[in-house]
């Protein structure tokens, strides 16, 4: 059953009516446009849903690495996290699997020990853990003033702190 709230705790997506796919996504007081590339009939006005999912993994990884370095007193060089989604054949059951390729790029070389530790911490970021353990999706139907309850914003920060604990 949906919880009644003044403002949604979660993300709200609504078709804009512009083009075949363009969707406005409201997150707190921000709006993001999602769309599909022109070559598949979209307007190319925003990231695709899989790019948004990849962005969630990239952003969480970046935040978690930054937090870990801060806690350790490490001065990390500038870095970026790039994530790309693809479907790959699964040799077991013949059905494709989703794969996220994540690339950490540092502006300066890191010593091998620090490099290995940062990869270990990247694998502990909360979004990475969510994707690896799987999840349940429950769908309900209701009026626009009903909203699913979401995780409090501080919970993600707590999970990042936990990921950084040695």
Four-residue CA torsion sign, 5, 7, 11, 12: positive
Closest CA to 71 of 31, 30, 17, 124: 124
Closest CA to 147 of 32, 11, 49: 11
Assess contact for 51 and 37: CB atoms under 8 A: no
Q: What is the DSSP string of 51-89?
A: HHHHHHHHHHHHHHHHHHHHHHT--PPPEEEEEEEEEEE
Average pLDDT over residues 48-60: 97
The yes-or-no verdict on residue 43 having pLDDT over 60 is yes
pLDDT of residue 3: 44
pLDDT of residue 35: 97
Closest CA to 13 of 5, 4, 23, 22: 23
pLDDT of residue 55: 97
pLDDT of residue 152: 76
The yes-or-no verdict on residue 139 having pLDDT over 90 is no
Average pLDDT over residues 53-67: 97
Assess contact for 104 and 69: CB atoms under 8 A: no
Kindly report, residue by residue over 87-111, the tens digit of the pLDDT: 988 767 778 889 999 999 999 999 9
The yes-or-no verdict on residue 4 having pLDDT over 80 is no
């Amino acid at each position: 059953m949906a919880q009644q709230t003044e403002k949604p705790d979660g993300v709200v997506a609504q078709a804009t009516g512009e083009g075949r796919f363009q969707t406005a996504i409201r997150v707190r007081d921000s709006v993001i446009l999602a769309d599909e590339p022109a070559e598949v009939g979209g307007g190319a006005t925003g990231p695709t849903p899989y790019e948004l999912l990849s962005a969630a993994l990239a952003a969480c990884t970046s935040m978690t690495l930054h937090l870990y370095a801060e806690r350790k007193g490490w001065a990390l060089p500038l870095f970026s996290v790039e994530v790309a989604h693809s479907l790959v054949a699964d040799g077991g059951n013949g059905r494709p699997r989703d794969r996220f390729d994540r690339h950490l790029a540092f502006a300066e070389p890191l010593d091998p020990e620090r490099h290995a530790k940062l990869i270990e911490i990247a694998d502990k970021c909360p979004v990475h853990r969510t994707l690896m353990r799987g999840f349940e999706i429950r769908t309900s139907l209701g009026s626009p003033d009903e909203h699913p309850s979401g995780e409090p914003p501080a919970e993600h920060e707590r999970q990042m702190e936990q990921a950084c604990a040695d």
